[in-house]
Every structure is written in C-alpha cells, then in structure tokens.
Structure 1
Amino acid sequence: MTDPFHDQTGRASLGGARGLAAVRLGIGLIQGLLLYGLYRSMATHDALTWPATHPALFAALVLACAFTPVMLLAGVGRLSIKALALWGVGAAAILALLGWHDAAQQAQDHFRPPYLRFPAVAFSAAALFIAHHLIVPAVAAGRWIADFDDYFDTAWKAGVQLALSLGFTGAFWLLLFLGAALFRVIGLSFLSDLISEEWFSIPVTCLVFAVAVQLTDVRAGLIRGVRTVALMLLSWLLLVITVLVAGFLAALPFTGLDGLWKTGSATALVLSAAAALIVLINTAYQDGREDNLPPVVLRVAVRVAAVLLTPLILIAIWGLSLRIGQHGLTPDRIIASACALVGVIYAAGYGWAALAPFLKRMAWMKPLERTNVAAAILTVGVILALFSPLADPARLSVGDQVARLKRGAVAAADFDYAFLRFEAGKPGRVALAARARSPDARIARLARQAQTTTSRYDMDQTGVPPRTPTIEAWPKGRRLPPSFSAPVASGDPRYACGQSDGCIATMRDLNGDGREEILMATRFNIALFAADADGRWSHRGDYQVRRCPGSRNDDPRERLKSPDVAPRPSEWPDLKLGVETARLNPNEACPPPVAVNP
C-alpha cells in the first residue's frame, strides 16, 4: 500500500523534510517553555504563584500543554494546516476541560500541583491517541470512516514512533548524565549544574523528543520495517496467551470461581487477560489483506482467542455484579464496568468474526475491522464521559452508597464513612456533611466523627468490629491465657490471626520479673505481648527476624518452635537524647553457609 502522507522517497511531502523539521522543533520548544513556565509557578522559592494558585486552571493547562503538542508533532505533514489547527484547538480544549474537572472534583486536603490524579492523565492520553488516529485517516480519505488498512497503518506506525522517540529521549539523558559524571571525575561540575536546572532540562527534553519524532518520520520505510518485526514477534505470543487462557477456562469447572474471587482483584485480572488477547489478535491480523495473512497456526490461534474473549468478559461482568451487589459502586468499579462495556463490543465482534465464515462466505476475520473502529469510537466516548460531569465516577459512587444507606442495605455502623471523607472528593465531602445532619443520631455521630478525622487508617479502626483471633499454642498442649485470645480490634497484631495469617504463640519470662510474657509469631515477625496490672495483654513491640541466605527456617513461626529461643542481653546500651531514646539496631552478619557433602 502506498503511503498517503509521504512521497516515493519516503520523506514527508508537506513542505519537505526541512520545513517539517522546523515546525516540529518549534512545537517542541514552545511546549518546553510552556511546561517550564507552569513548573516555575509551583516551585518559585517554595511558594505558589499564578496559575498554580488556581488548582483547576493549573490542572487544565498541564494536561493541555503536556499532550496537545505531542498530537501536533504527529499530525504535522499528515493534515493540512487548517485541519491541524482546528483539531489542535479542539483537542486542547477537551483536555483542558478534563483537567479542570478532575482538579475541581478533588478535596483540598494535601492538595499539591499538578492537582491531577493518575487515572485522568492516563485515560486522557489514551483517548487523545485513539481519537487522533481515527481522525487523521478519515480526513486524508475525505470520509467519515476510512479504510481499515489506513487506520492500521497510521496507528501502529505512530505507536512505533512514540516508543522509539521516548527511547531516544531516555538515551539522550543517559548520555548527558554519563558526560556529567566524566566531567565531575576531573573536577568540572558545569554539566551537572546545567542539567539540574529546570530552565534547561524541561525545554531540552521536549526539544529532543520533537527531534526524535522528526528523525523517525523522514524515513517511513524504516519505521515500517521495525513495526513489521515487532508485530511478527508479538503475534507469536498469541499462541502463549491463548493456551494459558484456554487452560484457565477449562480448569474453572473443576476448581470453581471461589479462588478467583478471593484474590480481591479478579475483575482486573480477567480484563487484563482480555486486553492482552485483543492486542495480540490484532498483531496477528494486522491490516487483513490477502497478501499479508499470518501462518495457518496463527490463523487458528486468532479464531480460538476471539472466541475465548466472550467467557472472559462474562466472568468479569459476573465478578463486578457480585461486588457491586454486595458493596455498591466505587470509582474503581465504575471504571472497570466501563472497560467491561468496551470488552462486550470486542467479544461480540471478534466472536462473530471467528464464527461467521462457517455460516456464510466471508473473508477470514473480516468483521474484526468494523469491530475495532466501533470499539475505538466507543472507547473515546466512554473516557470523555467518565472524566467529565456526564458520568463522574465519584459522583455516581457517592449517590449509590448513600442510597444503600438510606434503604437499609448497609447498617449505619458498617457504612464506609471513610470513603466519603477520603476517596470521593468533593461529592463525598458534601454527602458526608449531609449525613452529619441526619435525623438518625447514630449516622450523624459517625459522620461528624469522620469529618474530624485526618487519617483513613484511624477511620478503619473505628469502623471495623472486633474479631476473635485463632492462635496456636506452642508447645502443643500448652494453654494460652483466655484473655489473650479474647476479641481484639483492628490494628492489634492478633486481629489477622486465623484469617490472613496463621499465628503461633509461646510463653516465656523474658525480663526475669517472675511473670511470663507471650511471643506470638506470624509469617512476618514475632510480636511481644505483656500483661498489664489489670490482666489485659498489650502489644509492646516486634522482633524483626533476620533472613539469611540458605536458612531453612526463614518463617518466624518455625523459628519460634526452636528449643533455643531465649532472651539475650543487649551488648550495647540505649542512648538518651534529650526527651527521646535511641536504640541500636545491631549490624550482625549472617553465618557462613554450611557446606553440604555430596
């Protein structure tokens, strides 16, 4: 296929390579200066200045200045000046609105620049990449929907360019640091001082990235060669993931889904496997032309993998529905539901592509092409909805959680007030304030307590009911005091015993006062408990067990069973430092490994 954006020499045709280089270097330099200006506003003498003093505006500018120039670098030479300008303005405006909304919805506690949460940054970048590579081929073709091979060629070429450009920029900085180290050896620090200055490092990074984009663009044939090799290597990984997913699904009828649900991240795992299948299916299918078909074994793997998508997405939806039914909506579950929705489109389209040729005459996996375009458009729309007021996850989650409390699906004592206080941004704070005025005295008291709490950890302690630990006594047959195994609150080392940890305890008189203390071992450490004057057992500290290479008893629970366990006087005293005491942590070497005779 001929490249619509390059002439026969492989050079970009719009204005020639020199013109494109000048434009790209200008874009990179302007981006660097803008980002440096934003940096200065939040780092000048450790005091914020405008626009960093306005969080929503600052977040909007950061998101727009970080990603719009990258899109412009990719669009130069592929779109007319008018089309590129319109698309650039539109993309910058949308990114700015997403950044503004993300910052405006956050609570102000510990609020520092750039005021952006990671999901907003990552999903905004993904939406921009997808949208750009939907628009460029369509504009070039003069139609709303371009041919699939144009989408494939543009998107995968840009992906390779992006990866190489990032690698080039990273290599440039590695060489600068190496050069600075060499100069420091001979007593010259000018280069180290220079690269530590943000006025140099930020613009230069953007400029070098623009140079890398230009260098990878002027020889399109070389990029296609790299892309071909990368796609070929990745396509053979499809065999691996297909076998693994097929084995996983085949084992489920015998193992059940309980183990999967117990991981606490079943939906994320299954959706990740589905995403891997989708990407690798496309590396094998590529542009779908007859002269570019993969080997027979890969064509079979593509069909099998396309069918396996459906059960994976169904498992993800099932897991989500169970969690939402039990605990309601959270931002993470809403984002996962959006991913599952896109996954449904892929599963339906790919499943039909795999099975349709058996029902009617059709080229191999041809419906996959329309599915990819439809799913790409849906993905952009879903991301824009999630990170805008249309379907803000925090707002939807707060509404659902409060509705559960109102209808009695969750008791007042079990309601997650910490979610409203620390994880739901401004909508959560507003809802928490409303609960503090509730006519239900218990809800109002717990909500007011949450409003005055500064740590989510403290909230967790107050909201979790006590639990009776299960602790094994050692030596066997020895009884532990009943008060030691009484119900304890979250935060006590005994709380997890019998749940996520198996605990072993033994009694020793460690300080020679005639009363026995209790040493309780988990798989991480050994906790010391001593009885107070009223007979209550309190946690006094932990012994960290040194793990030496080759030791057969690294587990503290096994070490506690040793008959050699005994107190040892400290060789070095504590130091009194004013009102504080410093305790030495001895620097002891591990014993040499014991040679084993053959």
Structure 2
Amino acid sequence: MTYAATDPTGRASLDGARGLAALRIGIGLMQGLILYLLYRSASDSEALAWPATQPSLFAALVLATLFAPVMLLAGVGRMGWKALALWGVVAAAVLALMGWHDAAQRASDYFHPPYLRFPVVAFAAAALFIAHHLIVPAVAARRWIADFDDYFDTAWKAGVQLVLSLGFTGAFWLLLFLGAALFRVIGLSFLSDLLGKEWFSIPVTCLVFAVAVQLTDVRGGLIRGVRTVALMLLSWLLLVITVLVAGFLAALPFTGLDGLWKTGSATALVLSAAAALIVLINTAYQDGREDNLPPAALRLGARVASVLLTPLILIAIWGLSLRIGQHGLTPDRIIASACALVGVIYAAGYGWAALSPLWRKTAWMKPLERTNVLAAVLTVLVILALFSPLADPARLSVNDQMARLKRGAVSAAQFDYAFLRYDAGKAGRAALAELAKSPDAEVARHAKAAQASTSRYELTDATTPPRAPNIAPWPADKPLPAAFLAPTAPPDPRYACNSDDNCLAAQRDLNGDGRDEILLATTYRIALFAQDADGRWVHQGDYQVPHCPGPGAGGRDLREALKDPDLKTAAPPWPDLKMGDVTGRLQPETVCPKPAVVNP
C-alpha cells in the first residue's frame, strides 16, 4: 500500500511526488549535515571535540545517523506520517542503544572514532532492513501479520532500489573524479580541491543517495521489471549450488570431516553455503502464487535444496560444539551459534515444506512462507539480544572462559589472557583484575603480565610456554651445545624450530675471538647467536640476504647455502656511523647479479 497517488503511467502524481521528493531531499541533506558535524568533531585525533570525546554517545549518534534516515527514505510514501514518525523514533532509538552498548562495553584505551566494530554495523543494518520490511506491509494491511506476497513484494523491491541507489551514488562520484581529472589536465584544480573537502563530499553523498531513492521510487514498474529479471537469473543459480552442496555432502562419508575442521573456518563456510541456499530457494519461490510457478527443474531443485539445509546446519552445529568443547566460548562462536539457531528454523521449515507433500496434499513449498516470517522475526530478536546487555557475546565468553579456568578445563599456562586483555572489553579487563588477585601464584603472575602488556604480540610472547627446539647440526657429526638446545619461548628464533627439517645450525668463529658462534638457518633467514658472560646463547640479529631469482644464495634455500664449504665472513664495504650513543649501520641496496647470457 502507498499513500502517494499515482497516475496511469505509474508515476506518483504531482500533488504527492513533489512533496515526497522535497521530503527525501530534506532527509538526505539533514543526514549529510549531521554526519559531517560528527566527522568534524572526530577529525583531529589529537584534539577531539564533543561529541567525539564521549565514545558511547558518539557511537550511538553515528549508528543512528547512518541507518535511520535510510529507513525513512524507504518508508516515505509507504506509511502514514504518524506511523512513519513513530517507527522512525523507535528505530533510531534502538540503533542508538546498540551503538551506545557497543562502545560502552569496550575498553577505552584501544579504540578510536567512530568507536563501532564492524559486526555491530553490519548486523544493525540487517536487523533494520528485516524489521522495516516486516512492519511496512503489516501497517499497510492493518494486521500483525501481512500476506506473504506483500512481504515479498516490499522487501525485494526495496533490495533492488537499494542496490540501484548505491550504484547511482557510486557512478556519480566516478563522474566527479573523471571531471576533476579533466580539469587538472588543463591546470585547474578547483574541482579536485572541492572533492577533498568533507563539508562538500559527505552531504553531497547523502543528498545524491536520497535523490537516487526518489528516482527509483517514481518508476515502480521499472523496478519490478529489474527485480523480475534479477530473480529469474538468480533462481537458475539454485541448480548450481544444489549440485555443489549435494556433491559435497555425498563425498563426506569417503573423505571424513577432518579436512573441513582443519580449515579453522568450517562453521562459517557451511553456514555461508546454507545462507546461499536459503536466498536462492526464495528467488525460485518468489511470492508463491500459482500463476508464478517456476519451471519443473527449479521446483525440483528447490525441494532438494530445502532438504540439504538440514545436514548443512547439523554439520555447522557439530563443528561449533567441538570447538566450544575444546576451547570454550568466544564472541565469534556465540555469533555463529546465533546464526546456527536461525538456520535450524530455516532447515526445519524448508524441510517440512519440501517433504510434506509426501503425506499430505499442499501447494508447492507453501510452508516456506510461514518459515520466512518466523525466521525474520527471530533474526531481529537475536540480533537485538546479541548487541545489547541481554546476550552480550563478550560478557558470555568471559564468564565461560573464567569457568573453564576454575574447573581446570584449561591450565593457567594455556589460558588465553590476551583475550581478556584485548578482545573482551570491560568485562575482560574486570576478569583480568580478578585473576591478578588469585591465590594461584601462576594465574596471578600471568594476569599481572597481561595487565602490564602494551600489545597482544608482547603478551603472547610473554605467556607462551617454552619448548625445546628441534635443530639439525651442520656438519652432522658436530653436535650443538646442550645450552643452545635448551627450551625457549618467542620471540627467540629457536622457538620456531619444531620439526626435523625446519632449522639447520652451523658453528663458526666469526669474530676471531677463539669462541664459536652459531648460525641458525631456515629457508629465508639466518640468525646469529653468541654466548654471553653467563654462558647463555643470545640472539644477536639476522643476516639480511637479498632474495634474487636464479642460482646463488639469494635464490635458494638458505639452509643449503649454510652448507657451502666456502662460507666465510666479509668486512662491510662501508663503516658504521658513530653519533654519540647512537650507531648507524648502512643497509646496502639490494643488487642481484645479472643473469649470464648464453650464446646459442
């Protein structure tokens, strides 16, 4: 339902079209102005201005300003003014609260404007899109639940409009940059300078996007035509993904799941495949009307794809359960679990829609409609819970990891203190402070080291348990000193020597003091070790060897180069520069030997 009158050509009538255009342009300009003011308050990282000095408030304003106006642009002309105003206030408030929470629960010394993480931005946009297209048809129908074809028509039309509007905005900027380049050719830089001014670029971008929404809206028939073509093309891709997924599942009994788990991203891959199936099944089903049935091949493909969703979701849940059982909860695993929960609804509903005709007479895939509505509502609720105090992934992860440590599921040496320090926000910092007071001396020591660290890499090096390196001597009959093979931890290069053929070490007296030093070679690195006054082997630095194509030390495995019988020291061609307490050492320019010319 639309509140703008239309003429026989499909355009909004003048009494409504001009008003809608003015309103959309006003919304775009207002959005651009607010975003520019927010940008200006945060543009100087050394001297932030209000509201950038208040991270929670700034994040709330940014998230609400990014997405609430876009929702208003889409809702203008499709909802009554009172309903649109109420929905706009509610949507802006929810977005602001999501942004506020995201910034408020994070540590204050490791983030900068706009104080928002990518997941909250992406999921907020998804939740707003879904919620808006649940509300608009319901308001138009004056019912809590509208007809499915209204949901389909509204959501897919808006999706096409969004893509076209973004494309129009991008094309507009490409033309501006092209024009700026043309003017620069003749020595005029005014347009280039203008494009570099945020007071121009930010409002103009929002204005052009608003104009694009208006232009696509006044030709509803054209949008439906583009949507029809897009759905037709995408629906045939359903057959491709169905064959691929079926082949993947059929191969699993012969290959096993070990290879899948070794990827480290098995759950994300499987859930992505399930999401692709869900989207493409809907491109084939469309609004479900009998006069809009797809060809028989697509109907069969949609049924098979719907059945394949169940094993995919089960594999994702299995993989998640294994990882959580081994390593506990993390924010990423909690978000993946939420996605799997939504996936269970889709798999159950789509499986029922595909198989129910076996025992009852029903229209093709008809139960899919209720599944889509239920899953859409659940998705919005899950996103709101995840990015609010209700089910904050950081807090839940911290509680789980602390419980694992207390019950002995993970040792004090293997516990991930870096997660608490750098990834879990204020909840993690609070837990780390609690661990620093632990009666367990080892736990307290690691926790205090984490609190004092200034980078994740520093903390990882400090808390990694030492291990004995596995280093082969050269020559093989000249064993390495036992002290050199003592257990080490990062960043000592010996820590990376963990296999039989990984590292090779040779003993040489390089400085003529009568004592051997040790050269430790890997494929691309030669490290120098020398004993200190206490007899410890200390890493002195690395030899920089240019990587050159063809034969020679720079073009082959440095472990083989270390075996060269002509290996010897050479005086540097240029001396060091002594500048008081500072010594400067020349880094020579890499010069590779020219390949020899072979005469035919």
TM-score by shorter chain over 0.5 = yes
Does 1:104 pair with 2:97? Answer: no
Distance 2:360 2:487 in 1: 67
Q: Which moved more, 1:169-178 or 1:68-77?
A: 169-178
Distance 2:366 2:594 in 1: 65
Q: Which residue of 1 aligns with 2:249?
A: 249
SS in 1 for 2:389: coil
Q: Which moved more, 1:567-576 or 1:443-452?
A: 567-576
Distance 2:557 2:170 in 1: 43
Report Cα offsets for 1:358-404 as digits up to 9, x if no partner.
22111221111111111110000000001011111111111111122
Relative to structure 1, is the Cα distance of residues 401 and 535 closer, same or farther in structure 2, using a 3 angstrom cutoff?
closer
Q: Which residue of 1 aligns with 2:172?
A: 172
Does 1:536 pair with 2:544? Answer: no
Q: Which residue of 2 aligns with 1:209?
A: 209
Relative to structure 1, is the Cα distance of residues 504 and 453 closer, same or farther in structure 2, using a 3 angstrom cutoff?
closer
Q: Which residue of 1 aligns with 2:142?
A: 142
Distance 1:202 1:345 in 2: 41
Distance 1:562 1:338 in 2: 56
Relative to structure 1, is the Cα distance of residues 591 and 278 closer, same or farther in structure 2, using a 3 angstrom cutoff?
farther
The answer to whether the 8 A contact 1:572-1:584 is kept is: no
Distance 2:147 2:262 in 1: 45
Percentage of matched positions with identical amino acids: 69
**TM-superposed deviation, 1:346:** 0.8
Q: How does 1:474-493 map to 2 (within 5 A)?
A: 483-493=483-493
Distance 1:463 1:112 in 2: 27
Q: Which residue of 2 aligns with 1:350?
A: 350
Distance 2:158 2:520 in 1: 60
Relative to structure 1, is the Cα distance of residues 254 and 497 closer, same or farther in structure 2, using a 3 angstrom cutoff?
farther
Q: Which moved more, 1:396-405 or 1:532-541?
A: 532-541
Distance 1:208 1:560 in 2: 61
**TM-superposed deviation, 1:290:** 2.1
Distance 1:596 1:210 in 2: 68
The answer to whether the 8 A contact 2:446-2:463 is kept is: no
Does 1:521 pair with 2:528? Answer: no
**TM-superposed deviation, 1:327:** 1.6
SS in 2 for 1:528: strand
SS in 1 for 2:504: strand
Q: Which residue of 1 aligns with 2:502?
A: 503
Distance 1:302 1:11 in 2: 36
Q: Which residue of 2 aligns with 1:583?
A: 586
The answer to whether the 8 A contact 1:133-1:151 is kept is: yes
The answer to whether the 8 A contact 1:504-1:557 is kept is: no
Report Cα offsets for 1:201-258 as digits up to 9, x if no partner.
1111100111111111111122222222222222222222222222222222222222
Relative to structure 1, is the Cα distance of residues 339 and 483 closer, same or farther in structure 2, using a 3 angstrom cutoff?
same
Give the TM-score taking structure 1 as reference length. Answer: 0.90
Report Cα offsets for 1:267-315 as digits up to 9, x if no partner.
1121111112211222222222222222222222222221111111111
**TM-superposed deviation, 1:46:** 4.5
The answer to whether the 8 A contact 2:530-2:540 is kept is: no
Distance 1:596 1:146 in 2: 82
Q: Which moved more, 1:554-563 or 1:187-196?
A: 554-563
**Aligned partner of 2:337: which letter?**
S
Q: Which residue of 2 aligns with 1:182?
A: 182
The answer to whether the 8 A contact 1:345-1:371 is kept is: yes
The answer to whether the 8 A contact 1:131-1:377 is kept is: yes
Relative to structure 1, is the Cα distance of residues 563 and 75 closer, same or farther in structure 2, using a 3 angstrom cutoff?
same
**Aligned partner of 1:213: which letter?**
V
**Aligned partner of 1:464: which letter?**
T
Distance 1:153 1:540 in 2: 66
Structure 1 residues without counterparts, runs of 5 or longer:
none
**Aligned partner of 1:375: which letter?**
A
Q: Which residue of 2 aligns with 1:195?
A: 195
**Aligned partner of 1:262: which letter?**
K
Relative to structure 1, is the Cα distance of residues 286 and 530 closer, same or farther in structure 2, using a 3 angstrom cutoff?
same
The answer to whether the 8 A contact 1:102-1:116 is kept is: yes
SS in 2 for 1:540: strand
Q: How does 1:554-593 map to 2 (within 5 A)?
A: 556=557, 560=561, 566=567, 573=574, 576=577, 578=579, 579-588=582-591
Distance 1:549 1:400 in 2: 54
Relative to structure 1, is the Cα distance of residues 348 and 473 closer, same or farther in structure 2, using a 3 angstrom cutoff?
farther
Distance 1:470 1:244 in 2: 43
The answer to whether the 8 A contact 1:489-1:495 is kept is: yes
Q: Which moved more, 1:148-157 or 1:407-416?
A: 407-416
Distance 1:530 1:221 in 2: 75
Relative to structure 1, is the Cα distance of residues 63 and 561 closer, same or farther in structure 2, using a 3 angstrom cutoff?
same
The answer to whether the 8 A contact 2:418-2:450 is kept is: yes
Relative to structure 1, is the Cα distance of residues 565 and 106 closer, same or farther in structure 2, using a 3 angstrom cutoff?
farther
Relative to structure 1, is the Cα distance of residues 46 and 487 closer, same or farther in structure 2, using a 3 angstrom cutoff?
closer
Relative to structure 1, is the Cα distance of residues 302 and 547 closer, same or farther in structure 2, using a 3 angstrom cutoff?
farther
Q: How does 1:146-165 map to 2 (within 5 A)?
A: 146-165=146-165
Relative to structure 1, is the Cα distance of residues 266 and 44 closer, same or farther in structure 2, using a 3 angstrom cutoff?
closer
Relative to structure 1, is the Cα distance of residues 282 and 557 closer, same or farther in structure 2, using a 3 angstrom cutoff?
farther
Q: How does 1:365-380 map to 2 (within 5 A)?
A: 365-380=365-380
Distance 2:389 2:566 in 1: 62
Relative to structure 1, is the Cα distance of residues 590 and 235 closer, same or farther in structure 2, using a 3 angstrom cutoff?
farther
**TM-superposed deviation, 1:550:** 13
Relative to structure 1, is the Cα distance of residues 461 and 151 closer, same or farther in structure 2, using a 3 angstrom cutoff?
same
Distance 1:545 1:446 in 2: 40
Relative to structure 1, is the Cα distance of residues 549 and 353 closer, same or farther in structure 2, using a 3 angstrom cutoff?
farther
Relative to structure 1, is the Cα distance of residues 179 and 332 closer, same or farther in structure 2, using a 3 angstrom cutoff?
same
Report Cα offsets for 1:83-107 as digits up to 9, x if no partner.
1111101100100111111111011
**TM-superposed deviation, 1:438:** 2.5
The answer to whether the 8 A contact 1:412-1:442 is kept is: yes
Report Cα offsets for 1:173-199 as digits up to 9, x if no partner.
122122122222222221111111111
**TM-superposed deviation, 1:76:** 0.7
SS in 1 for 2:529: strand
The answer to whether the 8 A contact 1:493-1:527 is kept is: no
Distance 1:143 1:584 in 2: 75
Q: Which residue of 2 aligns with 1:263?
A: 263
SS in 1 for 2:391: coil
Distance 1:306 1:228 in 2: 22
The answer to whether the 8 A contact 2:161-2:223 is kept is: yes
**Aligned partner of 2:167: which letter?**
G
Distance 2:376 2:394 in 1: 25
Q: How does 1:63-462 map to 2 (within 5 A)?
A: 63-462=63-462
**TM-superposed deviation, 1:510:** 9.1
**TM-superposed deviation, 1:529:** 3.2
The answer to whether the 8 A contact 1:13-1:77 is kept is: no
Distance 1:207 1:595 in 2: 65
Report Cα offsets for 1:296-343 as digits up to 9, x if no partner.
222222222211111111111111111111221111111111011011
Number of equivalences:
592
The answer to whether the 8 A contact 1:238-1:281 is kept is: yes
Distance 1:231 1:570 in 2: 71
Q: Which moved more, 1:572-581 or 1:488-497?
A: 572-581
The answer to whether the 8 A contact 1:38-1:51 is kept is: yes
The answer to whether the 8 A contact 1:331-1:394 is kept is: yes
Structure 2 residues without counterparts, runs of 5 or longer:
none
The answer to whether the 8 A contact 1:6-1:13 is kept is: yes
**Aligned partner of 2:172: which letter?**
F
**TM-superposed deviation, 1:527:** 3.2
Relative to structure 1, is the Cα distance of residues 569 and 92 closer, same or farther in structure 2, using a 3 angstrom cutoff?
same
**TM-superposed deviation, 1:166:** 1.1
The answer to whether the 8 A contact 1:528-1:543 is kept is: no
